[in-house]
């Protein structure tokens, strides 16, 4: 795979989102510039990382970028072209909501299981995928080839749950608990801190 | 209020999170540098925006920053020192989860109402705050002094719901629908796109 710098990866991900939301028509680098603030030069440079057929030739910036060829090229370059399996850990209200989370883009991701430390909850929560008690994570995460987890446990249980996931071989955690997790460097973590988002919104209300 | 540049505001918000999670002891600019990658110089500059008593004197960087004085100073400078009222719009699984969302930091924010277009759902969802049919937003949002909304409606209803919120006088929207909302420039929007977070995680798994 081509070595793409991290900031370019983030921009390509965002560009893919714009292309997906734009429908089937071509998108010009000028339009992308208007939506993102990146210069046309930056956008062309980022797209050049995708290799020949998506650069300035077949889908050049003069006639706009063609979503039909550019989206699959971005997916391939970013490693999003194969389905990844994930699980939900913690089946309280938020975790239960994510058991039923099915946006169209989620064909890239397959939810395969839910886990909770509370066996009673495992039995009563309604779910489209099988639910298991948390002590089975060590066995089932490798057996089901689960790579990532939505961590939806309470704040005070998050670090312990993360450690159990790591020792079960999880490679990525999407952390919803308002806690800074300590995990080995090879495990990827993304945080969804709703309070921080609310605060960031609040700051903008003050100005 | 002091005019603080936007990037400094974002850093101060993040610094406040670090101080809150650190317990009561002082935090040195070296520790902050290690956690964030910002230079000590940047950190001191950001803190200087808070004014005299939190600058380099009483809680200088040699003995570390004192959370007990720095957290309230950041809150005041960022306008987080007064309680803001918000509502949840869309009472499906995710919206219902956020009706019950109560992290400790949420004392800065007060959830006062939930709204859903489905009157039946308004009657059956369990909630710690009153729930109303969506057509009452125009009347109740100004009456209850609601400034912000968690937008938890389905993707295809998000833009319409956002427009209703805007005409009811909402000033900020925390958008959970995977849609780029079009709102007037004076309305602040923050997006929580879980699919994008999952994709960002997935990219890191590939490398």
CATH of the domain at B125: 3.40.50.720
**pLDDT single digits (tens) B129-183:** 999 999 999 999 999 999 999 999 998 999 999 999 999 999 999 999 988 899 9
- Cα separations in angstroms, B50 against A200, A201, B12, B61, B85: 17, 20, 10, 15, 25
Q: Check whether residue B54 and residue B101 sit in a common domain.
A: no
Residue of B96, B109, B190 with shortest CB distance to A200: B190
- Any idea what the CATH number is for the domain that residue B70 is in? 1.10.10.10
- Report the range out of A98-107, A152-161, B187-196 with the highest average pLDDT: A152-161
Q: Say if A32 falls within a structural domain.
A: yes
Q: Check whether residue A46 and residue A115 sit in a common domain.
A: no
- Lowest average pLDDT, out of A187-196, B18-27, B60-69, B134-143, goes to B60-69
pLDDT at residue A166 greater than cutoff 70: yes
**Contact call for residues A60 and A132 (beta carbons, < 8 A):** no
Q: Check whether residue A116 and residue A53 sit in a common domain.
A: no
Q: Check whether residue B109 and residue B159 sit in a common domain.
A: yes
pLDDT at residue A59 greater than cutoff 70: no
Question: The tokens of B146 are what?
Answer: 């609601």
Q: Say if A1 falls within a structural domain.
A: no
Q: Say if B204 falls within a structural domain.
A: no
Provide the pLDDT for residue B119: 95
pLDDT at residue B196 greater than cutoff 80: yes
Q: Check whether residue A100 and residue A56 sit in a common domain.
A: no
**Contact call for residues B27 and B47 (beta carbons, < 8 A):** no
* Closest C-alpha to B152, from B123, B194, B124: B194
Over range A183-197, report the average pLDDT.
90
CA angle A99–A102–A108, rounded 5-degree value: 105
What's the rounded Cα separation, in Å, for the pair A174 and A192? 7
- Domain ends where: B77, B112, B139? B77
Question: The tokens of A2 are what?
Answer: 């081509």
Q: Which chain B residues are closer than 8 Å to A174 by Cβ?
A: 194, 197-198, 201
The residues facing B144 across adjacent strands are none
Provide the pLDDT for residue B101: 76
- Lowest average pLDDT, out of A25-29, A101-105, B17-21, B153-157, goes to A101-105
CA atoms within 13 A on the CB side of A182: 3
What's the rounded Cα separation, in Å, for the pair B6 and A164? 38
Q: Check whether residue A52 and residue A127 sit in a common domain.
A: no
Q: Say if B149 falls within a structural domain.
A: yes
Q: Which chain A residues are closer than 8 Å to B201 by Cβ?
A: 148, 172-174, 188-190
- Domain ends where: A46, A77, A108? A77
* Closest C-alpha to B207, from A54, A172, A17: A172
Given 3-state DSSP classes, what are the helix, strand and coil percentages for chain B, each rounded to the nearest 5?
A: 50, 15, 35
What's the rounded Cα separation, in Å, for the pair B130 and B112? 7
Q: Say if B112 falls within a structural domain.
A: yes
What's the rounded Cα separation, in Å, for the pair A40 and A62? 11
Provide the pLDDT for residue B136: 97
**pLDDT single digits (tens) B35-91:** 777 788 888 888 888 876 554 444 444 567 888 888 888 888 888 887 889 999 999
Q: Check whether residue A118 and residue A192 sit in a common domain.
A: yes
- Domain ends where: A62, A77, A92? A77
pLDDT at residue B1 greater than cutoff 60: no
Q: Which of residues 126-185 of B touch A (CB under 8 A)?
A: 147-148, 155, 171-174, 178-180
- Cα separations in angstroms, B70 against A3, A198, B14: 42, 20, 13
Question: The tokens of B93 are what?
Answer: 């699984």
Range of the domain at A19: 6-77
Q: Say if A147 falls within a structural domain.
A: yes
Q: Check whether residue A54 and residue A100 sit in a common domain.
A: no
* Closest C-alpha to A152, from A128, A138, A173, A126: A173
Q: Say if A42 falls within a structural domain.
A: yes
Burial of A85 (0-12, 13-18, 19+ CB in 10 A): middle
CB contact under 8 A, A202 and B78: yes
pLDDT at residue A38 greater than cutoff 70: yes
Residue of B18, B197, B206 with shortest CB distance to A174: B197
First to last CA, chain B: 45
CB contact under 8 A, A103 and B21: no
**pLDDT single digits (tens) B86-133:** 999 999 989 999 998 775 556 778 899 999 999 999 999 999 999 999
Q: Check whether residue B91 and residue B137 sit in a common domain.
A: yes
Q: Check whether residue A90 and residue A57 sit in a common domain.
A: no
Over range A3-17, report the average pLDDT.
83
Judge whether B17 is closer than 8 Å to chain A, CB to CB: yes
Q: What is the average pLDDT score of chain A?
A: 85
If you search the block for the tokens 């590939």, which residue do you land on?
B206
DSSP one-letter string for chain B: -----HHHHHHHHHHHHHHHHT-SS-B-HHHHHHHH---HHHHHHHHHTT-GGGSSSTT-TTS-B-HHHHHHHHHHHTT-SS-EEEEEE--SHHHHHHHT---GGGGGEEEEEEEES-HHHHHHS--SS-EEEGGGHHHHHHHTT--EEEE-S-GGGHHHHHHHHHHTT--EEEE-SSS-----TTSEEEE--HHHHHHHHHHHHH-
Residue count (chain A): 207
Q: Check whether residue A103 and residue A165 sit in a common domain.
A: yes
- Count the domains in chain A: 2
CB contact under 8 A, A78 and B13: no
pLDDT at residue A102 greater than cutoff 50: yes
**Contact call for residues A86 and A110 (beta carbons, < 8 A):** yes
Q: How far is A3 from chain B (nearest CA, A)?
A: 9
The neighbour count for residue B56, using CB atoms within 10 Å, is 12
Kindly provide the ipTM of the predicted complex, given to two decimals.
Answer: 0.75
- Report the range out of A50-54, A130-134, A182-186, A187-191 with the highest average pLDDT: A130-134
Q: Check whether residue A176 and residue A133 sit in a common domain.
A: yes
Q: Say if B177 falls within a structural domain.
A: yes
**Contact call for residues B92 and B114 (beta carbons, < 8 A):** no
Which pTM was predicted?
Answer: 0.75
Helix (H) or strand (E) holding B145: none
Q: What is the DSSP letter of A37?
A: -
């Amino acid at each position: 795979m081509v070595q793409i710098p991290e900031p370019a990866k983030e921009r390509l991900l965002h560009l893919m989102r714009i292309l997906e939301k734009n429908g089937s028509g071509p998108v010009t680098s000028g339009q992308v510039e208007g939506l993102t603030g990146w210069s046309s030069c930056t956008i062309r440079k980022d797209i050049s990382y995708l290799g020949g057929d998506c650069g300035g030739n077949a889908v050049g910036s003069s006639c706009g970028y063609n979503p039909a060829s550019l989206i699959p090229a971005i997916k391939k370059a970013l490693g999003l072209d194969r389905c990844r399996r994930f699980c939900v850990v913690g089946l309280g209200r938020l975790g239960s909501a994510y058991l039923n989370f099915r946006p169209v883009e989620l064909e890239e991701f397959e939810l395969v299981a839910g886990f909770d430390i509370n066996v009673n909850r495992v039995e009563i929560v309604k779910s489209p995928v099988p639910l298991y008690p948390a002590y089975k994570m060590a066995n089932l995460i490798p057996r089901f080839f689960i790579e990532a987890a939505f961590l939806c446990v309470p704040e005070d249980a998050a670090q312990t749950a993360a450690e159990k996931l790591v020792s079960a071989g999880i490679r990525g955690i999407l952390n919803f608990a308002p806690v800074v997790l300590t995990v080995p460097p090879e495990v990827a973590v993304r945080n969804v801190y709703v309070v921080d988002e609310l605060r960031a919104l609040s700051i903008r209300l003050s100005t």
